[in-house]
Amino acid sequence: MKPAPFKYVAASSLDHALTLKAEHGDEARFLAGGQSLIPAMNFRLARPAVVIDINGLDELAGIAHGPTIRVGALTRYCALERDSEFLDSCPLFADALPHIAHPQIRNRGTIGGNLSHADPASELPALAVAMEAQMRLKSAGGERRLAASEFFEGSLTTGLAADEMLVEVEFPALPPRSGACFMEVSRRRGDFAIAGLATIVTLDAEGRCTKVRLALCGVGETPVDASEAAAPLVGHACADRPIEAAAAAIRAAIEPAGNVHASADYQRHLAGVLAQRAIRTAYQRAANAA
Amino acid sequence: MQPDRHEISVSVNGTAYRRNVESRMLLSDFLRHELLLAGTHVGCEQGVCGACTILLDGAPIRSCLMLAVQANGHELSTIEGLASDSGELSPVQKAMHEHHGLQCGYCTPGILMTMTAFLKQNPSPSEEEVREALSGNLCRCTGYQHIVDAMMAAAQAMRASAP
Amino acid sequence: MTTRFFGAPVKRNEDRKLLTGQALFIDDVELPGMLHAAFLRSQAAHARIKRIDVSRARQRPGVVAVYTADDYGAYWQPGPLLVPPPPIPGSVFNQRTQVPLAKDKVRHVGEPLAVVVAESRYIAEDALDDIEVDLEPLPAVIDLEAALRPGSVLVHDDLGSNVSAHVHQSKGDYRAAAAKAHLVIKRRFAYEHGIASTIETRGVVAHWEARSQHMTIWDTTQAPVFVRNGLAALLGLGERQVRVIAPFVGGGFGPKIMMFYPEEVALPWISMRLNRPVKWIEDRLEHFFATTHERGQIHDAEIAVARDGRILGVKDVFLHDGGAYDPYGLTVPINSQCTLLGPYVVPSYDSAFTAVFTNLPIVTPYRGAGRQHGVFVMERLLDLAAHELNIDPAEIRRRNLIPADAFPYKNGIIYQDFSQLEYDSGNYEPVLDQALQAIGYSEFKREQKKLRAQGRHVGIGVACYVEGTGIGPYEGARVQVQANGKVSVATGIGTQGQGHFTSLAQIVADQLGVDVTDVDIVTGDTDQFYWGAGTFASRGAVVAGNAVNEASRAVRQKALKLASDAFECAEEDLVLADGRISIVGIPEKFLGLGELAKRANPMRGAVKPGTEPGLESTQYFGPPSGATANGVHAMIVEVDPDTFDLKILKYVVVHDCGTVINPLILEGQIHGGVAQGIGNAFYEKLVFDDQGQLLNASLADYLLPTALEVPRMELGHTVTPSPLNPMGIKGAGEAGAIPVGPLFAQAIEDALQLKEKNVELLEVPLSPSRIFDLIKASEP
Ligand SMILES: Cc1cc2nc3c(=O)[nH]c(=O)nc-3n(C[C@H](O)[C@H](O)[C@H](O)COP(=O)(O)OP(=O)(O)OC[C@H]3O[C@@H](n4cnc5c(N)ncnc54)[C@H](O)[C@@H]3O)c2cc1C
Ligand code: FES
Ligand code: FES
C-alpha cells in the first residue's frame, strides 16, 4: 500500500495553486489534510500525476465571525473544535465534530477537504446542506458561489470544476429562537455514520415551528435534504403527532442502499428514530435559546 | 518518469536531519527506513489503527497519512524521544510498565504518543475521557483495561509532580 | 525452593525495549543491499489461469526480478499437512494444501500469482501494475450447502466433490435418549469467527549468504523450529544451514502459526537466486486475504432433556467452511465437536461434521480455534431448554455440571491431540457460584423488574465453557548460568506478547534464587534452541514452562553439588538465594552462581566421569494429554430499543486455569481474549459476496473493538491444579474469547424480551442491524 509516483508542489500562494490546477486539471489534486486523499493514494485508488500541497496557504485557514460565518477551506477540525464562538454560532458542529474520526485525524483534516471529498456518509456535507451554506469556489479565471444543495452531485462528486478550488464556506447565522441538533448512529465512535441527521428548528414566540431545516448523511449518494419531508412540523409546538408525521415522511423520502454494516431497512428505520430524537432536542434547544 | 525528489529538513526528537526524499514517500516510511527510527510502527497505512501516531509540532497525527516532504520545516516527536537522555522512562511509559499496559507492544508507540499529548492537555481526565482519547488507537492484545489503568495512574503521577 | 516470584504479579522484563522503541520487529530488519518483494494477487476467487505476462514488469527500472509458478520448477510443491487427522474410525480426509504460487487455477481472492522483487517496495508495487494476467472466471463456491450438492462447481477438480473431511463421533445412544426425553429442542445455528487481525501484519526477511552457505530467515511465525525444518528440506539445505528467527512479533493468535505461507516459501528461494537479502512485509489489504481466517460453521443441533433440565443427549450435524485448502487438517472442526460438550454431563452424544472446500481464504485456528462454535451451540441449546422448561438459565447449567468428584472425567470421544478427550481436573460449581455472585445475579433479577418498569431494556447472560489447553507434543529449554551470574534461558517457542520473557523467568528465578531481571529469555531463534513445536493451543506457559522448570531444577542440583564439593559439606546444609550459595547460618561463607559457573568449566584438572561442564541443563517436557481449564462469563447489558445499539453495564469472568504463574499477565490475557470475543460477537464480520469478494477488507470496515466498545472487566479465579504437570498449570490464552458469543445472544434476548416476540438469536456475529432485521422478520 504505497502511493504511485507523482509530482509534488507546495503551493506558494493561492494564485500559484490555482494556476497549477488550471494547467493540470483533473490530473492534479489539492492536498489539504490528506486524511482522505492519502489513504486513497496508498490503496492506489487515487493516482494524481500532480499533488498541489495547499497546507502552506495560511490565507485559506481561519474563521471570520459575523452575521455570516466564513470558514476558510483549510481550517482544520481541531481549530473548529477549539473556537467556542464558532461552536456557539454553528452549534451543529459542536454535535458533529466529535463523531468525525479521532483526535489524530481531526488535527489534520480540513473542512474544505471534507466537503470537496463529498463522502455521502460524512457528517459535514449534511451539516452544510442543513445550514444552507454557500461554497466559494475559485479558479485562476474567477470566482463563483454555489449553494451546498447544488454542490454535492453524487458520491465523491461535487460541482467543483477541474480548475476550481473550494476556498471558503459561508454559514448564515441561525435566526433567533433556533435550535439545532445533529445525531448519528455508527458502529463505533469515529466511524462513518450508518445514518446521521442534522436539523435546525426555528420557533415563533409561542414555541411553534416557523421553519425547519433537516438533512441526512449516510443514507444516499449525497447528503439528503429532507427539509420538505419535515414540513409537517411547521405551525406546531413540540408534540408527538407532528414529530411522528415528520419522521414518517423522512423515512419515506430517503432511498438508502444498505452496506456491510446495515440493511437498507435498518438505515431507513434509523432515519426515523434519529428524526424524532434530533427534532425533539432541537425544539428544546430552541426554546432554551429564546 | 524520473522520480520526483525534494530536499527536506526536519527535526525529530530535537535532532535535525536533512534528507533528499522521493515525494511519494510516506512520513512513516521516512522515519522508519530513512532515519532508522523504527520505533514508530505501521499497521494499516490508512489512518485507522493508530500505531503510526507521532507528534507534529506537538499534536498527534498519523504519520502514514502524511508525506515526508510535507514534514519539511516541522518538528516531530516519536517514541524514541520519550525517555530522558539518562534513560529514565516518562510517566506514561512508566505507568504502562507498572500496569501491564502492553503485550505484544506493537500498538504501544502510537498509544504512548497519543496519550502523552492528551494528558498534557487534560491533566485530570475521567476514565471515559481516557477511553475516548484512546479510541483512535487499536490494540488487539490487551482489551485496553490495563492501558486505561495506566493512563489514570500516569495522570495522577504527572499531577503530583507538576510544579 | 522459595516461591518469591512464582504466582506474583511481576512486571515484565520485555517492556522496556517495547516502551522505548528498541524492540526488533520484522520490518525493523535492515540489511545492506536489501531488496523488496510484492506479490501480485488474484482479484478473482475462482478462475483458470490462461496467461501471465511479466515481461513489461521485468523492464521497469528498479525491478530486479519477477517470478511466476513456472520459474519455481521442482521447488513448486504444495505445502505440508501440519496436523494429520486424528485416528477416528470411518473418517474421511482429503488433503489439498496450499501452493506457493498459483498454477493452472486460482482458488481464492488474494492467492498469489507472481512475485516482483525490486529496489524498493514502492517500485515493486509499481511493477505489479505492469503484469498482464488473463484469467478465465469460474463460478465461485461460497455457500456450504450448495457446495455439497451433486453437480456443484469444484474447488479441486480432481477430487470429485468439495468434501475436505467428514468425521462422525458418538457415545451412548442418542436415539434412545431422545425417545425417552421430556423435551427435544432442535435448531439451526450459524457461527462465524473472523480474522485475528493482529496489529502487526506478517512479514519475512530472507538473507542467503553465499560465502558461508547459510540462510537466515526472520519470520513473524509462531513456530520457528518447524519453519526451519521445512524450509531447509525444501531448499535442499541441512537444518544447521538455516536459522529462523521470530523477532518481536506484534500479536499472533493462531494464523501466524500456519505454514508455509507462499511468502515464506518465496523469499528464501529468491534470496538464494539473487544472492541478496529480500524483505516482504504484508500490507493491511493483503492481510485480509493472504493471512488465514477462521469463519463459519452451520450446525443443525438438538438437545434431549429431562423434565428437570438434565441433559440426556445432544446430537449435532454441522458444516465447516474450510476455505480453499486444508493445511491444518481437522483441528478447528474437531475442537468445535469436542468443546461443545463443555463442563456438562452429556450421557449421549452424536456428532458428525463435514468440512467443505470453498473459494475463500484458508481457514486455520484463530484464538479459540473452533471452540467458540461448539460452545455457542451448547449454551444456546441450554438457554432454549431453560426457557421451555421454565428453569432459570443459570440453574439449568448448574444442574448439568460435571461433579467435582468425577475427575479425571472421560468424555468418550477423541480430541485434536489424538488422545481421548479427558478432563484432567476441575471443580466447576464454585466457578459458577463466584460468577453469579460477582455479577449480582439474583439482585439483578429483582432490579431488572424495576428498570423495565422505567422503560429500560437491561438483560443478563451467563455462559460456561471448558478449554482444552497445553497439548503436546513437547517443548524444551536450556538454562545456563553465565560467568557474570546472570541466567540465560532458551526455548523453541515463539512469543507474541504473552509475557514469556517474564513468566518463564519467574520459574527460573525461584529455582536458582536470582532476581527475575537477571534471567534473560531467548525465544524464537532456532540457533539458540534447536527443538520445539510452537506457541499454539494455549500451550506456551504449560509446556515450555514445565521444561524450563525441569531444566532450572537440574541446574540448581548441579550448583548445589558443586558448592557442596567446594565447601565440603552436605547439600542439605546449603542455601541458594540472592544469586549465591552459602552455608546455613554462615552467610559470609558463600559462592556466587557466576563463580560456580566458572568452576564448572575448569581450565585444568579432571572433570569427573558422568558430569558435564558448565552450569547448564537442557530438559524437555511433554504432557501426556492436554490440561482442561474452565470458566464462566457473565454480563449485564442495556440495549437501546430503537437503535439496537448496546452498552455493557457489567462484565465478569471467573475462571480456573490451575496454578497461576503471573496474575498480572493472566489478567491481560483474559482481557484481550474478552475483547476479541466481543469483536466476534458483535462487531467483526467478514462480508463476502457470492463471487467470493471480500467487501470489507479494511480496518475501517472490519470493526475491531476500541477502548469504547470494551468494558471494564471484573475477574475472579479459582485454582484446581492440573495433575498432568508438576507445576499444576493449565493454559489460559484462549479462555477470554470463547463464550462471549452465546453470552451476547442470551443477554440481548433477555434485555429486549425477544422470547416473547418469538425471536431467537441463533447466530454470531450479531449487530444492531441484524437484530432489527430479525425482529422485523418476526412481525406479522
Ligand atoms: C480513520 C479515519 C476515519 C475517518 N472518519 C471520518 C468520519 O467519521 N467522518 C468524516 O466526515 N470523515 C472521516 N474521515 C475523513 C476525514 O474527515 C478527512 O479529513 C476528510 O474527508 C478530508 O479532508 P482533508 O482535509 O483531509 O482532505 P484531503 O484528504 O487532503 O482531500 C480530500 C479531497 O478533497 C480535495 N480537496 C482538498 N481540499 C480542497 C479544496 N480546498 N478545494 C478543492 N478540493 C480540495 C483533494 O484533492 C482530495 O481529492 C476519516 C478519515 C480517517 C483516516
Ligand atoms: S499505520 Fe497509520 S494509522 Fe495505521
Ligand atoms: S499490545 Fe499488541 S496490539 Fe496492543
With an 8 Å Cβ cutoff, are C706 and B43 in contact?
A: no
Rounded Cα distance between B142 and C182, Å, is 45
Q: Which of A51, A102, A106, A119 to mutate to test the interface with B (most CBs of B within 10 A)?
A: A102
CB contacts, 8 Å: C700 with chain A? 191-192
Task: Tell me the mean pLDDT in the region C680-705.
Answer: 97
Q: Give pLDDT tens digits for A226-284.
A: 999 999 999 999 999 999 999 999 999 999 999 999 999 999 999 999 999 999 999 99
With an 8 Å Cβ cutoff, are B6 and A4 in contact?
A: no
pLDDT for the residue numbered C605 = 64
Q: Which of B46, B132, B147 sits opposite C700 (nearest CB)?
A: B46
Question: Pick from A289, A255, A127, A128: which is nearest to A198 by CA?
Answer: A127
Phi, psi of C4 (to 5 degrees): -70, -40
Cell numbers 440426556: residue: C312
Task: Tell me the mean pLDDT in the region C133-159.
Answer: 97
Question: Pick from A170, A172, A168: which is nearest to A61 by CA?
Answer: A168
Q: Which has the minimum average pLDDT: B40-49, C589-598, C602-611, C615-624?
A: C602-611
User: At the top level of CATH, which class does the domain A7-53 belong to?
Assistant: alpha beta
**pLDDT band at residue C262 under the 50/70/90 scheme:** very high
Residue C632 CB partners (closer than 8 Å, separation 6+): C431, C432, C434, C435, C462, C463, C464, C465, C653, C654, C655, C739
Residue extents of the structural domains in chain A: 7-53, 59-172, 178-289
pLDDT for the residue numbered C416 = 75
pLDDT for the residue numbered A178 = 97
Rounded Cα distance between B33 and C544, Å, is 35
The yes-or-no verdict on residue C365 having pLDDT over 80 is yes
**Closest ligand to Cα B106:** 3
**pLDDT band at residue C4 under the 50/70/90 scheme:** confident
With an 8 Å Cβ cutoff, are A43 and C121 in contact?
A: no
Q: Which of B39, B134, B135 sits opposite C21 (nearest CB)?
A: B39
CA distances from C632 to C382, C437, C674 (A): 14, 12, 12
The proportion of chain A whose per-residue pLDDT surpasses 90, expressed as a percent, equals 99
**Closest ligand to Cα A158:** 1
From the CB of A52, is ligand 1 less than 6 Å away? no
Q: Give pLDDT tens digits for B76-98.
A: 999 999 999 999 999 999 999 99
Task: Tell me the mean pLDDT in the region A74-85.
Answer: 97
With an 8 Å Cβ cutoff, are A5 and B64 in contact?
A: no
**Closest ligand to Cα B65:** 2
pLDDT for the residue numbered C538 = 61
**pLDDT band at residue C205 under the 50/70/90 scheme:** very high
- CB of B32 within 8 A of CB of B38? yes
Cβ of residue A179 closer than 8 Å to a chain B Cβ: no
User: At the top level of CATH, which class does the domain A178-289 belong to?
Assistant: alpha beta
Question: Pick from C82, C83, C114, C162: which is nearest to C324 by CA?
Answer: C162
The yes-or-no verdict on residue C690 having pLDDT over 90 is yes
Q: Options 3.40.50.1820, 2.160.10.10, 1.20.140.10, 1.10.150.120; which CATH number does B91-161 get?
A: 1.10.150.120
Cβ of residue A107 closer than 8 Å to a chain B Cβ: yes
pLDDT for the residue numbered C607 = 65
Structurally, at CATH architecture level, domain A59-172 sits in 2-Layer Sandwich (3.30)
pLDDT for the residue numbered C75 = 96
Cβ of residue C253 closer than 8 Å to a chain B Cβ: yes
Residue C322, Cβ neighbours under 10 Å: how many?
A: 30
Question: Pick from C129, C121, C114, C126: which is nearest to C67 by CA?
Answer: C114
With an 8 Å Cβ cutoff, are C668 and B142 in contact?
A: yes
Phi, psi of C268 (to 5 degrees): -60, -40
The yes-or-no verdict on residue C536 having pLDDT over 80 is no
**pLDDT band at residue A15 under the 50/70/90 scheme:** very high
Pocket-forming residues, ligand 3, beta carbon under 6 Å: B 102-107, 139-142; C 199, 251, 497
Q: Nearest residue on chain A to C38, judged by CA atoms?
A: A1
Residue A70, Cβ neighbours under 10 Å: how many?
A: 16
Amino acid at C495: T
**E strand spans, C153-211:** 163-171, 183-193, 203-209
Task: Tell me the mean pLDDT in the region A81-107.
Answer: 97
Q: Same CATH fold, B91-161 and B5-81?
A: no
Q: Which of B46, B70, B135 sits opposite A55 (nearest CB)?
A: B70
Q: Give pLDDT tens digits for C266-280.
A: 999 999 999 999 999
Q: Give pLDDT tens digits for B24-39.
A: 999 999 999 999 999 9
The yes-or-no verdict on residue C149 having pLDDT over 70 is yes
Residue A76 distance to chain B (closest CA, Å): 12
Amino acid at C594: G
CB contacts, 8 Å: A269 with chain C? 772
Which atom in ligand 3 lies closest to the alpha carbon of residue C198? Answer: 3
Cβ of residue B36 closer than 8 Å to a chain C Cβ: yes
From the CB of A139, is ligand 1 less than 6 Å away? no
**pLDDT band at residue C1 under the 50/70/90 scheme:** low
Rounded Cα distance between A258 and C770, Å, is 12
Rounded Cα distance between C270 and C283, Å, is 20
Cβ of residue B65 closer than 8 Å to a chain A Cβ: yes
pLDDT for the residue numbered C680 = 97
- Our measurement of the distance from residue C157's CA atom to the centroid of its chain's CA atoms, rounded to an integer in Å, reads 32
Three-class HEC string of C554-578: HHHHHHHHHHHHHHCCCHHHEEEEC
The yes-or-no verdict on residue C776 having pLDDT over 70 is yes
Peptide bond into C248 cis (omega under 30): no
Question: Pick from C219, C209, C62: which is nearest to C130 by CA?
Answer: C62
Q: Which of residues 223-252 of C touch B (CB under 8 A)?
A: 248-252
CB contacts, 8 Å: C21 with chain B? 37-40, 78-80, 109
Q: Which of residues 3-22 of C touch B (CB under 8 A)?
A: 11-12, 14-16, 18-22
Cβ of residue C707 closer than 8 Å to a chain A Cβ: no
- CB of C475 within 8 A of CB of C495? no
The yes-or-no verdict on residue C534 having pLDDT over 70 is no
Question: Pick from A24, A80, B103: which is nearest to C19 by CA?
Answer: B103
Please give the grid coordinates belonging to residue C20.
Answer: 522505548
The yes-or-no verdict on residue C81 having pLDDT over 60 is yes
pLDDT for the residue numbered C535 = 62
Domains along the sequence of chain C with CATH: 380-469+624-778 (3.30.365.10), 472-621 (3.30.365.10)
Cβ of residue B65 closer than 8 Å to a chain C Cβ: no
The proportion of chain B whose per-residue pLDDT surpasses 90, expressed as a percent, equals 97
Rounded Cα distance between C496 and C253, Å, is 8
The proportion of chain C whose per-residue pLDDT surpasses 70, expressed as a percent, equals 98
pTM as predicted: 0.96
pLDDT for the residue numbered C737 = 93
Average pLDDT, chain C: 93
With an 8 Å Cβ cutoff, are C125 and A262 in contact?
A: no
C-alpha A35 – ligand 2 centre gap (Å): 11
The proportion of chain C whose per-residue pLDDT surpasses 90, expressed as a percent, equals 82
The yes-or-no verdict on residue C196 having pLDDT over 90 is yes
Three-class HEC string of chain A: CCCCCCEEEECCCHHHHHHHHHHHHHHEEEECCCCCHHHHHHCCCCCCCEEEECCCCHHHCCEECCCEEEEECCCEHHHHHHCHHHHHHCHHHHHHHHHCCCHHHHCCCEHHHHHHHCCCCCHHHHHHHHCCCEEEEEECCEEEEEEHHHHEEECCEECCCCCCEEEEEEEECCCCCEEEEEEEECCCCCCCCCEEEEEEEEECCCCCEEEEEEEEECCCCCCEECCCCCHHHCCCCCCHHHHHHHHHHHHHHCCCCCECCECHHHHHHHHHHHHHHHHHHHHHHHHHHC
Q: Is B20 helix (H, G, I), strand (E, B) or coil?
A: strand
pLDDT for the residue numbered C543 = 84
**pLDDT band at residue C600 under the 50/70/90 scheme:** confident
pLDDT for the residue numbered C537 = 56
With an 8 Å Cβ cutoff, are B64 and A38 in contact?
A: yes
pLDDT for the residue numbered C604 = 64
In this complex, the chains that touch A, judged by 3 or more CB pairs closer than 8 A, are B, C
Residue extents of the structural domains in chain B: 5-81, 91-161
Residue A284, Cβ neighbours under 10 Å: how many?
A: 14
According to CATH, the topology of domain B5-81 is Ubiquitin-like (UB roll) (3.10.20)
Q: Give pLDDT tens digits for A193-209.
A: 999 999 999 999 999 99
Q: Which of residues 33-52 of A touch B (CB under 8 A)?
A: 34-35, 38-39, 41-43, 51
C-alpha B107 – ligand 2 centre gap (Å): 10
Q: Give pLDDT tens digits for A46-77.
A: 999 999 999 999 999 999 999 999 999 999 99
pLDDT for the residue numbered B65 = 98
Q: Give pLDDT tens digits for C400-425.
A: 999 999 999 999 888 877 788 899 99
Q: Is C322 helix (H, G, I), strand (E, B) or coil?
A: strand
